Amino acid sequence: MAEDWDVYFCLIDDRPASVFVDLGIHWDAPQVQRPWLLRIVVTLRDAGQDGLGVPEEVDTLYEIEDELFRCVAEGLTARYVGRTTSQGRREFCFYAKSAERLDEQVGVVQRKKTAYSIVATSQNDPSWDYYFDTLYPSDLDLQGIETRRAIDRMGQQGDDLNQPREVVHLLLFPTADARTEFLRQVESEGFRCEEFSPPEDEEQVNRFGLRLVRRDPVTLEYIDGLVVDLFLRAGNYGGEYDGWETSLTV
């Protein structure tokens, strides 16, 4: 599966975290030939106020990442799947056939970057639980990534994102009653509401669809906040948010 890297922000152990992850390998995981999780933790020299580091240190951390990729991913035939930054630490994660020679390879990097503490650990994780539970985004975080990507594409095509236009939000519910209860909650918010049923050939658990249509700007801050709100409120009724769509203004 092709690599598909992206970054998102979340909480890890109730503290702010930045996660950089290969979304593409999700469809090819777990890989039975790489059951060992290799974790390399680099302690930041300046954690910053939020524990995510400071801009002045970024270039050096990229250099360490490149060295780790050369020594671990290439040297041990491991698959680099992501990194987290939180609480003054940056952790790089790989999956490999075994943990043999891990300390040796990480030691090569440590000798080049003596100003940093670099500590390697390993554990048998054949189900890739760490990738799925910690690195891979939640449904809400994944929707946030998709929203940002869509708006980036629109901006690259010259769209005036501040220009209001009809935006369609798709939601799915497990029962007609759940859909009706949700409708009662949003009917005063200016949406045009259209009920629909997913095509029979689509494998959907939730078969009671709803389109919400309203004129809105599509700046990232505005749309992302609206999407999060609808996503969470649909979940209160056992439903799911199924994305949004609109037209370009160019």
Tell me, letter by letter, the H, E, C secondary structure of the chain. Answer: CCCCEEEEEEEECCEEEEEEEECHHHHHCCCCCCCEEEEEEEECCCCCCCCCCCHHHHHHHHHHHHHHHHHHHHCCCCEEEEEEEECCEEEEEEEECCCCCHHHHHHHHHHHCCCCCEEEEEEECCCCHHHHHHHCCCHHHHHHHHHHHHHHHHHHCCCCCCCCEEEEEEEEECCHHHHHHHHHHHCCCCCEEEEECCCCCCCCCCCEEEEEEEEECCCHHHHHHHHHHHHHHHHCCCCEEEEEEECCCC
- pLDDT at residue 2, rounded to an integer: 76
- pLDDT at residue 1, rounded to an integer: 59
Q: Provide the whole-model pTM.
A: 0.91
Find out if CATH 3.40.50.720 is the number for domain 139-246.
Answer: no
Is residue 172 within 8 A of residue 242, CB to CB? The reply is yes
Q: How many CB atoms lie within 10 A of CB 117?
A: 13
- pLDDT at residue 199, rounded to an integer: 82
Segments making up each domain of the chain, as ranges: 5-135, 139-246
What's the CATH number of domain 5-135, 3.60.150.10, 3.30.930.10, 3.30.60.50, 3.30.70.600?
Answer: 3.30.70.600
What residues of the chain score a pLDDT lower than 70? 1, 201-202, 250
Whose CA is closest to 88, among 16, 7, 8, 9? 16
Q: Check for a shared fold between 5-135 and 139-246.
A: yes
